[in-house]
Chain A
Amino acid sequence: MTDAAPIANPTGKSGRSKPPAARQRRTLFWAVPLLLLPLPLFLDQYKQYVANLILVYVPVAVGFNIVIGNLGLLAFSNVAFFGIGAYASGVLALKLGWPWWTTILPAGLMGALAGCTASVPALRGVRLFYLAIMTLAFGELLRWVYIRWVPVTGGSFGMSVPQPSVLGWTLSTEGQKFYVFLVLAVLAVVLTDRILRSRFGRAFMAIKDNELAAAAMGIPTDRYILLAFAWSGFVVGIGGSMYAALVGHVTPVAFDLTELILEFAVVMVGGLGSLVGSVVGAAVITAAPEFFRGLPGAQELLFGVLIVLVILFLPRGLASLLARLHPIFVDRHYRD
């Protein structure tokens, strides 16, 4: 035997520092929010409200993208997680008198629970259109609960959520909400990035590409599908909690199919399977209608045209455009 080198146990040096790309990426996660800090100085209350709404849609899109973009399952239960998070926060604040900031984590946990529930058909092997329709039904079922469970949810009229507060400070202006929302949105992105760059994220993407081969590599695929749904539900549930604090009123209508289509558009326009895309999509889809506000009547039309144009010319979303501009935006780990 001449070759002395063992084959499957190479003596690779361990502990080499991170590749520059990962470090650059981290800088991006902290630099962009830092640049946004002075924003409330320049915006009026309404524009600040729109900026806050963008921050709400960041976790909502990030969570949705994990399931449809990274795990690759056609599950449309996202609006259910969003609603559960909003109602959890609303009920805890209104009925039990909890300050808003203490309801954020419970809202996330309720979202995670909804995520686990929504993953059941997928765990039973339901896929594609069948999974799509079953998860759509899950969202509609929850909407029925919001409407019927009047003593808790306030029925069709919804419920008013008390003014949000953090550690005893009342967030009375949109600018104050902005800073709290910014922290939450950044956390959602940073934590999700850590997951997607780890063996957990690789397992999600392996399942997306080839479930059989993933199992053959020792990955308990069921457990990872459950985990992806739970994390998705957690993040989106927190988005729901932010929504309740921002709007101050939670109604069933906010979590209907139109809302789901909007969230789907955020992910598709931003970039399926791209974390950068989730953020960019949230910003563009939320802000775009405001730019068309001066053209009454044409607003919906232009909004629709914008979506069609992006999908037509940038099938990988706006994230792919950014990736062409600078490698820092490249989601090497999240390609489809």
Chain B
Amino acid sequence: MASLLEISDVSVRFGGLVAVDGVSLAVGAGEICALIGPNGAGKTTLFNAVSGNAAISSGRILLKGEPIHGLAPHQISAKGVRRTFQNGGLFAGLTALENVLVGLHAKVGSGFLGLLAGARASERAESSSTEQARALLDLMEVGHIADELASDLSGGQQRIVEIVRAIATEPPLLLLDEPAVGLAPHMREQLVRIIRRLAAEQGVGILLIEHAIELVMAVADRVVVLNYGRKVADAPPEQVRADKAVLEAYLGHA
């Protein structure tokens, strides 16, 4: 049985720089896989390769056994790979609710001509999606900020809303790029809870980049460590913690 996401021997080069160097890893449905490593190790580049924002120079990326490398980002997204962004990717001028509605974009069944004609079906599609988006925000414990502009939200709230937006279409695979950056402790707990529920209840495969090591240890089923674009470890968290190569990656040669 093929994994949900299979990255095999993937390299990404920018000119002479090899940002990702022959990395292979797999994420199964319902599995939480953390991607860690020092700054510049190629974690975000690997994410960009999976989401179609960076071209791979060799290797293969398969989603449910089907190659997705070479597709445009919106096509990969339509196939069920959703991501969040390291620096926050919310649409600042839209409300939290509207952000989630953009996440639902493909599922809102309103047609252009139908809208122009004021067709009931189009309007109903819009309003039922609005209901769905509101319910999602409620479920993720951020329903009270639905009508706030994204730019008015706290950093933590923005992170949560971005995750809600990403999972709105029930994607099988979720890529989270440093979701815990700048989060207050209680927001971190909420985040951990959400990530666990997504994997356990929805069977979402999650690939997670994170520097907050205690969060990684708390949620990850498996930890993959990158250093200088190469994979140096791929094991359950408690093993990785004791791994010599990992210590070297973080602390330099002893």
A positions within 8 Å CB-CB of B: 1, 3, 5-18, 191, 194-195, 197-200, 202-203, 205-206, 208-210, 212-221, 227, 332-333, 335-336
Contacts and interface: CB of A to CB of B under 8 A. Distances in A.
Contact of A7 (B91, B131, B167): B167
Nearest to A273: B93
Contacts of B247: none
Contacts of B102: 199, 202-203, 206, 214, 217, 219
A191 B117 CA distance: 8
Nearest to A202: B102
B108 interface: yes
B127 to A, nearest CB: 6
B127 A215 contact: no
A227 B112 contact: yes
- Chain B: number of interface residues, binned into ranges: 35 or more
Nearest to B136: A10
B101 interface: yes
Contact of A199 (B110, B138, B168): B110
B53 to A, nearest CB: 7
Q: A-side binding surface: helix, strand, loop or mixed?
A: loop
Contacts, number: 141
A214 B202 CA distance: 24
A9 B170 contact: yes
Contact of B127 (A14, A213, A217, A336): A14
A219 B74 contact: yes
Q: B-side binding surface: helix, strand, loop or mixed?
A: helix
Contacts of A15: 124, 127-128
A99 to B, nearest CB: 25
B212 interface: no
Contacts of A11: 135
A8 B102 CA distance: 15
Given A8-B202, A220-B74, 16 more contacts: A3-B197, A7-B197, A10-B132, A10-B139, A16-B131, A18-B127, A199-B108, A209-B90, A213-B90, A213-B91, A214-B102, A216-B53, A216-B89, A227-B112, A332-B95, A336-B93
B78 interface: yes
A212 B162 CA distance: 14
A198 B126 contact: yes
Contacts of A199: 101-102, 105, 108, 110, 126, 129
B197 A215 contact: no
Interface string B92-111: 11110010011101101010
Contacts of B132: 10, 12, 14
B73 interface: yes
Contacts of A335: 93, 149
Query: Could you say which of B53, B77, B118 has the most chain A C-beta atoms within 10 Å of its C-beta?
Result: B77
Query: Could you say which of B51, B94, B106, B202 has the most chain A C-beta atoms within 10 Å of its C-beta?
Result: B94
A1 B196 CA distance: 11
Interface string B193-234: 000011011100000000000000000000000000000000
A8 B167 CA distance: 7
5 contacts: A1-B201, A6-B202, A8-B169, A199-B101, A210-B90
A177 B138 CA distance: 52
Nearest to B122: A198
A242 B188 CA distance: 58
B2 interface: no
A272 to B, nearest CB: 11
Contacts of B197: 3, 7
A190 to B, nearest CB: 9
A208 B138 CA distance: 27
B138 to A, nearest CB: 7
Q: Top 4 closest A-B pairs, CB basis? A: A10-B135, A12-B135, A14-B128, A213-B89
